[in-house]
Structure 1
Amino acid sequence: MPGHLETLLAFDRQYQRDQQQSPAFLHRRDRRYALDRDEGHTPDIHHWLTQLQALNDTTASSYPPELRSWQRFAGAFISLGALLGIVTMSGLLFYDGGQQINITVILGVILLQLVLALFTAIQGLAGWQPWAPLMHSLQHRLEKRQPSSALLPLFSPMMARTAQAAGLAFGVAGLMTLLTSVVLQDLAFGWSTTLETSAEGWHRIVSWVAAPWSAWLPVATPSLELVADTRFFRLENASAGTDSARWGAWWPFVAMAWLTWTVAPRLLLLILATVDLRRKSRRALHHHPGYTALLWRMETPAVETGSDTPDSGQLPADTAADTVPVPHTPLVVCWAGASPESALPTPGSVPVHAGGSQSLQADRNALEALAGRREPRDRELLVLTRAWEPPTAELEDFLEDAATQLPGITLTLLPLATAPAQRPSYLQLAQWLRFANRAGQGIRIAAKDHGEHNHDGH
């Protein structure tokens, strides 16, 4: 089955599982995935699903049960089409020695197959679902569950694709039966009709049928003489006055007519049905209720406001008492565009930049640069932030990575006000203190004028 169907069903299953998670968890998870991707790459749903399956320790190659049941049905339908092709062609080529094989009947069957192929293609493109109730009932009885809601809009193109594949199997099996009969039997073809049809009129009909190959395969194009010689009537001895070899000269025409007007249209329409199914399954994925929400979570920064914490309605009693002095350290990070002007505690220290529009790999490179320049006496990492911007989940992830790559380091955040000499407001410091309390890792919040309020330190 097309990969888009598997992706659609896997996404729908993940969407159903995500309904049990909190929006904050989903936002943080999907935003981190988006930052982990290289810049300029659009979200890849298949890669996103693979990453989640790897994190959940599940098998990425598990085939959806809905498609497995449909695959069994399609295989049975295609096998039935092949069997019907063998039986049909064997019936058309039946010859008891007293009456020729009628070309008229064979052309009638070819025309019927062409009409059925076109009707199936129109039904699939238009979205008609005449067999939907029967298929849903059959699947419910066999699988003991209702079909997936994600597949309901795609039932029509899926059925059209299966029907075209069964028609192609019918045509190929019929052609192989014809060629086998030509080798193993002495077939005698002719044409007969109750209507008053002249040899010239019938020759024009077969010439129209043979038009696609008449220019490069003249042996498969019946001549007027062959048409005139091989007409027979039911109650007459058709062999009288006609060379016996003439009755078998029709087989190249029959083979090419079957190949051109039965097998080739089915093959082309099968390709069209496959492309249409992929297009509609891709559109169904983009219109899935969870797809837009996923893109929003990937594109929107996750902001920690503290509104879902037990102390969200409370502020620390004394922010000055909970802050610490700005540590003197050469290890400084400017987070999300924070300006280091007049904020560097150690003259000559060169800060690194992280967060904001930078990729996750760039943040990792910044930490590697700090680890490379770290001296044994350096025990503090100072992270400059913008006080007026709420702390984000990306910052918490960065601090976790910093604690891992710089073992034994003390993490200190310094929220900066809009003006270099200005102290952040009481509410701004409060949100950063709540963030440090929730994040753990021994994170401290520093204030530039801490000494004016609390000379005892932390």
Structure 2
Amino acid sequence: MPGHLETLLAFDRQYQRDQQQSPVFLHRRDRRYALDSSEGQAPDISRWLAQLHAIGSHGADRYDFPEIRFWRRFSNGFIAAGALLGVITMSGLLFYDGGQQINVTVILGFVLLQLMLALYTAVQGLAGWQPWAPLIHSLQQRLQKQQPSPALSPLLGPMMTRTAQTAGLVFGATALITLLLSVVFQDLAFGWSTTLDTSAEAWHRVVSWVALPWSGWLPVASPSLDLVEDTRFFRLEGSGVDTASARWGAWWPFVAMTWLAWIILPRAILLAVATVDLRRKGRRALTRHPGYQALLWRMETPAVDTGADTRDSGKLPEDHHSATVTVPHSPLAVSWAGATADALLPGVDKPLPRAGGAQSLQADRDTLANLAHQITEGRRQLVVVTRSWEPPTAELADFLEDASEQLPGVTITLLPVATEPGQRPDEQKLGQWLRFAERVGQGVRVAAAETQEAAHGVQ
């Protein structure tokens, strides 16, 4: 799978589909997979999902999750806002009207604020707090017109933390770029000022502590005591010292390194922490999913068949009143959950359009809409190809009902295929499809490969 969030959502989607299957079928399917995998690598959820999706859907549709699309758009918008805000903020901090110098004290205060926000965001994610959850859920419902997946609810806090740290990192980067461009294209005059009775020696100790990470290998970015003494200014005119103009610009290496070391670097480290934490909690959410332990039990527990040797084990139950029909000639056709019947549908365009399986309901509706455009006077037969050994599902019944509504006047025929191409399924498997067609109604028939003329169709 391409990522841990996609794996969790794919597993939850498969779990919802499996609720419509019988426990016996699920046990046999998953136990068979575990036995096949035991010769190589240990059973793995990602490989299990990949195998099911390879059978049941197009590769392009495997990982199409509305939740992931929403978070990508949300994150991109948040990051773009952070980038724009970084440019605006640094431009505001460097604003100089000629009346007074750019106050380094204000810049240091802003750096401290950003560092506190970064740490608070990290703690919020690690603790699992979700103060933004109601707003995000409301926005997601408004954009997607559907309820968010409950599988992602435990991960909302870490996901928001990762997005916020990424936006903070981009904010710091664009602000630093704005500072460097301003240094090149403008004449910046820095200084320091405070209302408190602070001596130059005390302020020098403060900036020396801030510059401690790089003072040993980049002394030009560590202000000297002389620079601190020469660049203090006051708002009142005439109260400043007589300082050379070039001295006011000597602060910019310190400001740039302070921004890099105390805003950008902490954000990058905390972003890595948030990414690792999100992956850890994503794996934990998967193991705590209600279908996870049941899947492991089915993989580890042998499937035991009973009653295979009884006298009536191979007989068809006598609770249906219809027979199969021959495969229609040159029909419209659709593949349900990836079933194929090339040998039984000569002259029909391949590959068949798909429905069911891992496809969304909207994708099924689009398939029916495309089929509706292909209806002609001589093509009013729709064949739905299924696998005979898989039990009919309520999802298929809903699809047939939608097909009857969207394709009026079209006769719908189910075509259960056997494991061997072109062969007729055994009567026991066909029996479940005949009973299913009778329950569905809507004029649905069941077809099978025949060697002679078939019996009358289901009315």
Q: TM-score, normalised by structure 1?
A: 0.66
Q: CA–CA distance in 2 between the matches of 1:238 and 1:214?
A: 31
Q: CA–CA distance in 2 between the matches of 1:91 and 1:115?
A: 20
Give the deviation of 1:38 after TM superposition: 4.0
Q: Secondary structure at the match of 1:289?
A: coil
Give the deviation of 1:286 after TM superposition: 0.7
How many residue pairs get aligned? The number is 320
2:266 is the alignment partner of 1:265 = yes
Instruction: Spell out, residue by residue over 1:154-189, the C-alpha distance to the aligned partner (whole angstroms, 9 max, x if none).
Output: 000001101101110110010000001001101000
Larger radius of gyration: 1
Tell whether the 8 Å contact from 2:221 to 2:253 is kept in structure 1 after alignment.
Answer: yes
What do you get for the CA RMSD once the two structures are aligned? 2.5
What corresponds to 1:91 in structure 2? 92
What corresponds to 1:100 in structure 2? 101
Give the deviation of 1:39 after TM superposition: 2.8
Q: Secondary structure at the match of 1:91?
A: helix
What corresponds to 2:382 in structure 1? none
1:344-363 to 2 correspondences below 5 Å: none
Does the C-alpha gap of structure 1 residues 214 and 248 become closer, same or farther in structure 2, counting only changes over 3 Å?
same
2:12 is the alignment partner of 1:15 = no
Q: Secondary structure at the match of 2:217?
A: coil
What corresponds to 1:74 in structure 2? 75
What corresponds to 2:47 in structure 1? 47
Instruction: Spell out, residue by residue over 1:269-299, the C-alpha distance to the aligned partner (whole angstroms, 9 max, x if none).
Output: 0000000000000000011111111111111
Give the deviation of 1:46 after TM superposition: 1.1
What corresponds to 2:201 in structure 1? 200
Is there any run of 5+ residues in structure 1 with no aligned partner, and where? 315-392, 394-402, 405-435, 441-458
Tell whether the 8 Å contact from 2:34 to 2:300 is kept in structure 1 after alignment.
Answer: yes
2:114 is the alignment partner of 1:122 = no
Give the deviation of 1:142 after TM superposition: 1.1
Give the deviation of 1:255 after TM superposition: 0.2
Q: CA–CA distance in 1 between the matches of 2:94 and 2:311?
A: 84
Does the C-alpha gap of structure 1 residues 214 and 238 become closer, same or farther in structure 2, counting only changes over 3 Å?
farther
Tell whether the 8 Å contact from 1:102 to 1:190 is kept in structure 2 after alignment.
Answer: yes
Tell whether the 8 Å contact from 1:2 to 1:278 is kept in structure 2 after alignment.
Answer: no
Give the deviation of 1:57 after TM superposition: 2.9
Instruction: Spell out, residue by residue over 1:384-440, the C-alpha distance to the aligned partner (whole angstroms, 9 max, x if none).
Output: xxxxxxxxx9xxxxxxxxx98xxxxxxxxxxxxxxxxxxxxxxxxxxxxxxx99799
Q: Secondary structure at the match of 1:97?
A: coil
Aligned residue identity for 1:174: A
Give the deviation of 1:130 after TM superposition: 0.6
What corresponds to 2:26 in structure 1? 26
Q: CA–CA distance in 1 between the matches of 2:239 and 2:103?
A: 12
What corresponds to 1:37 in structure 2? 37
2:130 is the alignment partner of 1:112 = no
Aligned residue identity for 1:217: L
Aligned residue identity for 2:304: V
Is there any run of 5+ residues in structure 2 with no aligned partner, and where? 316-388, 390-418, 421-425, 431-459
Task: Please identify runs of 4+ aligned residues in structure 1 that moved more than 6 A.
Answer: 436-440
Does the C-alpha gap of structure 1 residues 238 and 106 become closer, same or farther in structure 2, counting only changes over 3 Å?
farther
What corresponds to 1:215 in structure 2? 216
Q: CA–CA distance in 2 between the matches of 1:237 and 1:148?
A: 66
Aligned residue identity for 1:178: L
Give the deviation of 1:65 after TM superposition: 1.0
Give the deviation of 1:99 after TM superposition: 0.9
Q: CA–CA distance in 2 between the matches of 1:310 and 1:18?
A: 32
Aligned residue identity for 1:89: M
Give the deviation of 1:62 after TM superposition: 2.7
2:226 is the alignment partner of 1:225 = yes
2:152 is the alignment partner of 1:160 = no
Tell whether the 8 Å contact from 1:191 to 1:230 is kept in structure 2 after alignment.
Answer: yes
Instruction: Spell out, residue by residue over 1:26-56, the C-alpha distance to the aligned partner (whole angstroms, 9 max, x if none).
Output: 1111111111114363221111111101111
Q: Secondary structure at the match of 1:151?
A: helix
Q: CA–CA distance in 1 between the matches of 2:291 and 2:311?
A: 30
Q: CA–CA distance in 2 between the matches of 1:58 and 1:287?
A: 29
Q: CA–CA distance in 2 between the matches of 1:257 and 1:112?
A: 13
What corresponds to 1:274 in structure 2? 275
Once the two structures are aligned, what percentage of the paired residues are identical? 72
Q: Secondary structure at the match of 2:291?
A: helix
Tell whether the 8 Å contact from 2:118 to 2:266 is kept in structure 1 after alignment.
Answer: yes
Instruction: Spell out, residue by residue over 1:322-372, the C-alpha distance to the aligned partner (whole angstroms, 9 max, x if none).
Output: xxxxxxxxxxxxxxxxxxxxxxxxxxxxxxxxxxxxxxxxxxxxxxxxxxx
2:298 is the alignment partner of 1:297 = yes
What corresponds to 1:179 in structure 2? 180
Aligned residue identity for 2:113: L
Does the C-alpha gap of structure 1 residues 163 and 78 become closer, same or farther in structure 2, counting only changes over 3 Å?
same
Give the deviation of 1:141 after TM superposition: 1.0
Q: Secondary structure at the match of 2:150?
A: coil
Give the deviation of 1:306 after TM superposition: 3.5
Instruction: Spell out, residue by residue over 1:67-90, the C-alpha distance to the aligned partner (whole angstroms, 9 max, x if none).
Output: 110110111011101111100000
Q: CA–CA distance in 1 between the matches of 2:170 and 2:127?
A: 24
Q: CA–CA distance in 2 between the matches of 1:43 and 1:251?
A: 58
Q: CA–CA distance in 2 between the matches of 1:63 and 1:274?
A: 22
Give the deviation of 1:17 after TM superposition: 0.6
Instruction: Spell out, residue by residue over 1:77-112, the C-alpha distance to the aligned partner (whole angstroms, 9 max, x if none).
Output: 111011111000000001112210000000011000
Q: TM-score, normalised by structure 2?
A: 0.66
Tell whether the 8 Å contact from 1:102 to 1:189 is kept in structure 2 after alignment.
Answer: yes
Tell whether the 8 Å contact from 2:233 to 2:241 is kept in structure 1 after alignment.
Answer: no
Q: Secondary structure at the match of 1:255?
A: helix
Does the C-alpha gap of structure 1 residues 285 and 98 become closer, same or farther in structure 2, counting only changes over 3 Å?
same
